[in-house]
Structure 1
């Protein structure tokens, strides 16, 4: 283990990596981050690697593709590439599952990971996206690989009303592929104390076809999808120190794609959509509801030197999958999750001297998460799971000489899960026979642990800032999948222990000249009992619980030599190893469903005219050949398929007609490259072997007032 940590740290010293940026301005080193410490702080105070995708970047990427999983794959180096489907299966962060939040409200369903949490909001309503990379316990269950927090837009001026209207169409070279989207954002101040922000967005996607004009697979397809998003925020300043805010954010998606499925042959012929769908299943695929309610109260001075923040929230989520015949009598499944929670944050300034400052952030999180996976006909695929999590926490921050920042914190996780009685589904085996359904007695599961973090950041000068940290996360990810494949008549005989991840990070960042800035980061994360999908002898998927190590490097370079041009790029690489027998032998690699191929992001953006901006993005995914097929059958098992390399270019352009009107044109897959997304290869299954989207154009008209 020590050798691994030292080797990665040495590699970081000689490997320069890059993060993409979509702006003609050099990265703002004074950018404010909310998620890392649950309070607003300068990015130069954070002892770890953070990616901020700002609103300009989001709007620029929206010109190419409105799917937020696609936007993130072009802006976050260590995030795996998008599947191109409604699922974000395999889109891990630093080789581990990520916790997705909307304004701090958890969207992920770690009790039964449905892999539709990243795609849970329309990008038009997002002000910025904060990505905290590496294990962290600051928001609780599910953040083994880090956090993606969507920060939504708010009132930004003193006008009574201001806003942004957008309308756009998308289309491909082939007939029947037109899509349409429209969004409206309004914000303002009604009085000096009362403000509001409201948004509505609707999108109807067209048919989606590959580079040869063939319909892509209808399984989990974003084609012919109706997407809806609404937001309302109301804020009131009680006085100069106190504010209360209430918000609702809702998202829904529903497919009306009527295409039959023609299953291909892995590595030879892609699975496609053709004809009309058979009458299987009655509920359209998608996410019928994702309701988020939140009330927050802020007091900047509840008493001398202490501020208070209180958040109360509710989330109601349901997502529906397509028809499956992997179990007796077939059917459609859905994941339903209802959360309610409260967060209490106190921030006390310990001292404020000329050359040093100290503060302590403390409080408690309370979360109740009720999750279940059921079939549309009422059968249970997982039991009802009712989790209550109470977690007090404390974080101490010391700033010495305005150069050295030290942080350390503790969080005590106290989790109880009530599991209902249930009957397992009778599932199909590789030989065509079915497993026997058994009755499983439920009960209570209890988990508790003390996890912590400690880190430093030394801002030596503008050219070099060093940072390093040790942080832990604690989660009971995929409990539902473990339970639903039970072969025991009681849950007490199952391996349901939590995942505790230890994350080590070391990096450097800085601005070498006024037109060049960089960051390079190395990391190692370990867990005594990880969780990875593997294929059983009868080709069914099961969870492997074993010790594991994930390590890698990443970073970015940005060049801004003149006002009319900027360019740069990013590189990320990772590896993961495990010891299935828990004997200290780490010669087995974690499969490709978690460990993504090395990735390069590159961009150039120019402004040949004052009102005209033109940019090109490139994504290059390297080949990933880490496993061998079965010597007898020549077939790969799930997660181990060889992934070929591919390179994709996107074009983005916009023209500002005047201060109010703007038009934008984007082209995705500019050279109409025929390729398959990574999941098509590493899944190593005929049904998953699909082509990627061919060239598609977007035209958008925007009006600001």
Structure 2
């Protein structure tokens, strides 16, 4: 595997830059700023936690959302270890540090681990997100799914001051250079909140119409007719949040979000040619069946008491209902003579209903100075099945996961809080229940006896964070995260009659062991961090190509990397420079001998990457130019196809805004220099599939208006 930067060079460069600037800093020291990270579930400042944490503010999120079009694109633009997005509805193959992240909305999980369809990035409109918390590396504090970091969308709330109001309206129009024709898209939205004293409320709604996407050669990009696409689609979101304060320390908080994105189905794909380097395109046409869609309802009711027996109690009841429709296909998998020849065509929908209770209690221990204990218990249920819509058959049978997990976390501050030690354990007990069922005709109509396989797992973490001197911190941690293998893929493909679920399913969790060592500077004009990490799994869960279809395989996996983030408030008043770097390595054991022997491919790990950004703010004027450099990567290993090697590319974006008394006017250009390129995911997989040979979007211009009050 080739890498644009070696660890040694990157470490030397990063340390020299960070230490050099910080040691000569004369500007105001901002290292006292503290941010409580909700995704960590404990009331400690960011710099007391022993892992890399990135907080994306609403201001930065709004900028990146206008540039990229979604919250996933915003995170990908700012986090160098996040893979290039597919620019599709499906996020399959999009990873953070080589593993799939756990997406949450106000700490409510959005993933569907029993039948993972990778649609969890499109479950809420970013307009209602106040900030994004990215907790890097594996950890189990939020339960299932935390092997590849946690991305927690914290939604907007009503103002805290009694009688105060808060709101925002936006309007955007975008398209290719002409901003017209079939590429035309637009978005509008508004929310309004008020604090009435004991009671406060915020309500809002958005509507977005996306046009057809074009590449830089002026050709329509092909839609992903099966997995789903964001082009040629319409989406709306209805959001509400209420809270009722019983007194100064106790309150109830309720959040509800309904998100719906559905394709218009006005375009069909035309195969390209990988041999000739011609990407797939699209023409006007009528699709068969329903257009792919996401329909998601998320609700949360929380009770918060900040002074209960000297500590803080958080109790949350949550509900998440997801219905994701996939595009129809003509496939022998769907054939059944009982339905006639037309049953060759069908389409599936993934259905997942999650509900649960989270109890967390956090308090300082007066008898031991500096000690803080977090304890709690989580209970969750996930009911998932995958149905065939046209013939009313279940492809994946109804599968229910019930889990119970007590946990405890101890944090000890020493030497006037300069040293923070932490340790914790979470005990997971879970059962997967499946009734008797029959597989599809194409799998032999096999009768399968139901069962209730169980698993128990203890997950540990240990860490230390030390303030060397004001604004200089180092940390080290060991943490375990876990998720489940995609059991739905196994259950739907059983071919042996009278099989038993208890013998079929290996439900042992995918446990990742994460080691991280980092150094942070927050001094004067410089905020910088550098981290080295390793994330290993004895029984990983990888997407592996088998007979033209990607299936989940349990293989040993080893991932390591170096990540740097650097921000410098330059001597020029109002000018800021950003730099980010990620150097990733990943290997897996393909033959089961316990020794990793092959590189992770582009479906399972992102390319090495460097981010550059230059921002300027003066009075009412703001400007930002940024460049994401995705570096060349060759893959080596058993059975790898050199046609899947990645040649690399660089994409620049521009954002301009001007504040007036009537609101902010903004103009952005995505892919500023109109570069023609292939999406990373498309370029590194399925070298003979000409329908999935997708070009990336050409230059997209967006004119926006926003007013906050």
Return the TM-score normalized by structure 2.
0.90
Cα distance in structure 1, aligned partners of 2:708 and 2:187: 17
Q: What residue number does 1:642 align with?
A: 645
Q: How does 1:283-362 map to 2 (within 5 A)?
A: 283-287=290-294, 289-303=295-309, 305-326=310-331, 327=333, 328=335, 329-351=344-366, 356-362=369-375
Q: What residue number does 1:53 align with?
A: 56
CA distance 1:477–1:40, change in 2 (3 Å): farther
Q: Secondary structure at the match of 2:350?
A: strand
CA distance 1:341–1:314, change in 2 (3 Å): same
CA distance 1:29–1:524, change in 2 (3 Å): farther
Deviations 1:411-432 (A, max 9, x none): 00000010233333456xxxxx
Q: Secondary structure at the match of 2:562?
A: strand
Q: C-alpha displacement at 1:9, in angstroms?
A: 8.8
Q: C-alpha displacement at 1:463, in angstroms?
A: 4.7
Is the Cα–Cα contact under 8 Å of residues 426 and 458 in structure 2 kept in the other structure?
yes
Deviations 1:437-464 (A, max 9, x none): 4332221110111111010000111352
Q: Secondary structure at the match of 2:570?
A: strand
Q: What residue number does 1:555 align with?
A: 564
Q: What residue number does 1:456 align with?
A: 464
CA distance 1:64–1:530, change in 2 (3 Å): same
Q: How does 1:393-472 map to 2 (within 5 A)?
A: 393-401=407-415, 402-425=417-440, 436-472=444-480
Q: C-alpha displacement at 1:571, in angstroms?
A: 0.6
Is the Cα–Cα contact under 8 Å of residues 26 and 558 in structure 1 kept in the other structure?
no
Is the Cα–Cα contact under 8 Å of residues 95 and 596 in structure 1 kept in the other structure?
yes
Is the Cα–Cα contact under 8 Å of residues 625 and 653 in structure 2 kept in the other structure?
yes
Q: What residue number does 2:340 align with?
A: none
Is the Cα–Cα contact under 8 Å of residues 482 and 496 in structure 1 kept in the other structure?
no
Is the Cα–Cα contact under 8 Å of residues 43 and 362 in structure 2 kept in the other structure?
no
| Matching residue within 131, 143, 146 for 1:143 | 146
Cα distance in structure 1, aligned partners of 2:380 and 2:46: 28
May I ask how many residue pairs the two structures share in their alignment?
670
Is the Cα–Cα contact under 8 Å of residues 452 and 472 in structure 1 kept in the other structure?
yes
Is the Cα–Cα contact under 8 Å of residues 39 and 142 in structure 2 kept in the other structure?
no
CA distance 1:25–1:134, change in 2 (3 Å): farther
Return the TM-score normalized by structure 1.
0.91
Q: How does 1:28-39 map to 2 (within 5 A)?
A: 30-39=33-42
Cα distance in structure 2, aligned partners of 1:338 and 1:25: 49
Q: What residue number does 1:251 align with?
A: 259
Cα distance in structure 2, aligned partners of 1:593 and 1:583: 23
Is the Cα–Cα contact under 8 Å of residues 553 and 572 in structure 1 kept in the other structure?
yes
Q: Provide the aligned C-alpha RMSD in A.
A: 2.3
Is the Cα–Cα contact under 8 Å of residues 627 and 642 in structure 1 kept in the other structure?
no
Q: What residue number does 2:23 align with?
A: none
Is the Cα–Cα contact under 8 Å of residues 349 and 389 in structure 2 kept in the other structure?
yes
Q: C-alpha displacement at 1:156, in angstroms?
A: 2.5
Q: C-alpha displacement at 1:246, in angstroms?
A: 1.4
Q: How does 1:142-541 map to 2 (within 5 A)?
A: 142-158=145-161, 159-174=163-178, 175-190=181-196, 192-219=197-224, 220-266=228-274, 268-278=277-287, 280-281=288-289, 283-287=290-294, 289-303=295-309, 305-326=310-331, 327=333, 328=335, 329-351=344-366, 356-377=369-390, 378-401=392-415, 402-425=417-440, 436-488=444-496, 489-494=499-504, 495-511=506-522, 513-536=523-546, 538-541=547-550
Q: What residue number does 1:430 align with?
A: none
Q: How does 1:654-693 map to 2 (within 5 A)?
A: 654-658=657-661, 660-684=662-686, 685-693=689-697
| Matching residue within 582, 602, 610 for 1:600 | 610
Gaps of 5+ in 2: 1-5, 19-26, 336-343
Cα distance in structure 2, aligned partners of 1:414 and 1:628: 37
Cα distance in structure 2, aligned partners of 1:151 and 1:134: 19
Is the Cα–Cα contact under 8 Å of residues 83 and 91 in structure 1 kept in the other structure?
yes
Is the Cα–Cα contact under 8 Å of residues 351 and 359 in structure 1 kept in the other structure?
no
CA distance 1:89–1:352, change in 2 (3 Å): same
Cα distance in structure 1, aligned partners of 2:588 and 2:91: 24
Cα distance in structure 2, aligned partners of 1:244 and 1:407: 30
Cα distance in structure 2, aligned partners of 1:81 and 1:44: 28
| Mean CA deviation greater in 598-607 or 24-33 | 24-33
Q: C-alpha displacement at 1:226, in angstroms?
A: 1.0
Q: Secondary structure at the match of 2:480?
A: strand
| Matching residue within 87, 112, 115 for 2:118 | 115
Q: C-alpha displacement at 1:471, in angstroms?
A: 0.4
| Matching residue within 575, 580, 591 for 1:581 | 591
Is the Cα–Cα contact under 8 Å of residues 521 and 554 in structure 1 kept in the other structure?
yes
Cα distance in structure 2, aligned partners of 1:100 and 1:63: 20
CA distance 1:535–1:673, change in 2 (3 Å): same
Q: What residue number does 1:102 align with?
A: 105
Is the Cα–Cα contact under 8 Å of residues 292 and 327 in structure 2 kept in the other structure?
yes
Cα distance in structure 1, aligned partners of 2:330 and 2:471: 58
Is the Cα–Cα contact under 8 Å of residues 485 and 507 in structure 2 kept in the other structure?
no
CA distance 1:193–1:57, change in 2 (3 Å): same
Is the Cα–Cα contact under 8 Å of residues 194 and 200 in structure 2 kept in the other structure?
yes
Cα distance in structure 2, aligned partners of 1:142 and 1:29: 32
Q: What residue number does 1:432 align with?
A: none
Deviations 1:468-516 (A, max 9, x none): 10001122131112222334422233333221111111110013x5112
